[in-house]
A = this chain, B = another copy of it.
């Protein structure tokens, strides 16, 4: 593998571990736990993995050894640091017994089902230490949810004498990890399943999980780009930049980038929903800022738009919900239809209220909402060009205001979408250490006989040696939600909380950012240099932990 100078230099970095994970560990167990909601339902669905205690690792003086082969799976979208979860896992299981083997299932959960795997060896893994991407073993979006899959997976698990599977994924993948753990426990197969909290979207967090890995690096990468565009904007002073940001439903990425870069406007989907705002109101709010700045001679600015926005506009959200159910129910006869026939099909099946909303949407947006869902039944929001939709609507409104004499500026705009640029960035020092510790923690959960747990690391705004490591039962984070038209047990997705500190901090200052030009230019992620430059975490985490 040919490498860049940075790749070569980073391979030599030794990730820092919390004191508790540096050698042998013992387990401290807490009290029995409850799921965050729908306790009776969850308990019934997970009789063998419900109610287990939160565990924390403490240093131990005893020599620790354990024979265990482990299988690891990367599930879903890439997030910086995934390779370091695997290196942490690898180094720990080898330390527990040099004969232990780590197997990587290829291209995601499908690799387990189809028996596609490699043994991860010292030689092989060294090329991937402290690197971005999931290319060490690849990732995929196959959902592990059917008994046949679990049984098919068991065959290869037995063949390779695997004691435990580690599934590195987002909320849905960790939900499935727990379903698998429960199934293997119920069948007394003696195969453990451990999850790891991965997603750049930042929506897998709660009282137990401070942050999902990759959020730090991805938001820093996007903030570098946003800052560069802000600086460009402030130099030529002639464009409004509409920047859409990845992040699925939640607006954590947009909010974090706003806190880092101080753009003129950042839309938070969760606020749009809470205030029951219409698309027209959003457009009017943006135009008010554009018109105010134009009066000051400032015909430029930067606007951040979370990719999930469209789902959170209540009328459109209702429409999407019905469309999700409709497409889940009628998927196959619908798929073969051409564009016009699909539109007619949808209009024929929608309720009256949603039919009206659908009919009034711009044609390309209506089309995009009618496309195939992802494997979890969700709209592929990243394909909807919300940034163009909004700027087109702003343009029309400003034209109207111009005619009415309410606006006298110039409005020229440029569009950007940042997503794929950040998912495989080389992990920041934070994610490098955090992920290595998560992998180490996962190995220790296995060595200590746990299943149905997610590896966790807490206290991460403190120096690394003060970080706290352990595991949390996945059922503890679950509730019942409607998915693909059915009620299912799922890990509750963490949306931006409007009374949380990050949003409050933003809310307090945003009018100033809108009126003035308060841009901050974070620049590229640094791996060396002053600690305040290269070791800082996200503003979100700083505010939440302060």
Contacts and interface: CB of A to CB of B under 8 A. Distances in A.
A31 interface: no
A46 interface: no
Contact of A236 (B78, B262, B529, B534): B78
Interface stretch (A111-119, A131-139, A154-162): A131-139
Nearest to A227: B4
A426 B533 contact: no
Contacts of A6: 521-524, 526, 533
Contact of A231 (B132, B228, B262, B528): B132
Contact of A133 (B9, B133, B134, B234): B234
Contacts of A401: none
Interface in A43-84: 77-78
A16 interface: no
Nearest to A10: B523
Contacts of A134: 235-236
Contact of A3 (B2, B77, B520): B520
A131 B235 contact: no
Contacts of A425: 224, 228, 523-524
Contacts of A420: 228-229, 232, 241, 414, 416
Contact of A533 (B5, B234, B532): B5
Per assembly, the copies of the chain total 2
B235 A530 contact: no
Contact of A521 (B132, B260, B530, B534): B132
Interface string A389-431: 0000000000000000000000000101000111111100000
A225 interface: yes
A102 interface: no
A272 interface: no
A107 interface: yes
A525 interface: yes
A496 to B, nearest CB: 23
A228 B421 contact: yes
Contact of A131 (B140, B237, B241, B521): B521
Interface in A415-456: 416, 420-426
A131 B237 CA distance: 18
Contacts of A9: 529-530, 532-533
A479 B262 CA distance: 46
A385 to B, nearest CB: 11
Interface in A193-236: 221, 224-225, 227-229, 231-232, 234-236
Contacts of A523: 4, 6-7, 10, 425-426
A228 B422 contact: yes
A125 interface: no
Nearest to A76: B236
A536 interface: yes
A237 B107 contact: yes
A527 interface: yes
A132 B6 CA distance: 22
A518 interface: yes
Contacts of A532: 5, 9
A242 to B, nearest CB: 12
Interface string A224-267: 11011101101111000100000000000000000010100000
A529 B528 contact: yes
Contacts of A520: 2-4, 7
Contacts of A3: 520-521
A513 B285 CA distance: 49
Contacts of A224: 425, 524
A414 to B, nearest CB: 7
Contacts of A522: 4-6
Interface in A487-535: 518, 520-530, 532-534
A523 B131 CA distance: 10
Contacts of A77: 236
Contacts of A421: 225, 228-229, 416
A426 B416 CA distance: 20
B530 A529 contact: no
A221 B231 contact: no
Given A2-B262, A4-B523, A232-B423, 13 more contacts: A5-B536, A77-B236, A78-B232, A133-B235, A134-B236, A224-B524, A228-B421, A416-B420, A425-B524, A426-B521, A426-B523, A524-B525, A526-B526
Q: Which 9 A-B pairs have the closest CB atoms?
A: A524-B524, A528-B529, A133-B231, A231-B424, A134-B235, A6-B523, A232-B424, A528-B528, A4-B522
10 contacts: A3-B520, A4-B521, A10-B523, A78-B235, A133-B232, A138-B236, A228-B421, A228-B423, A229-B424, A414-B420
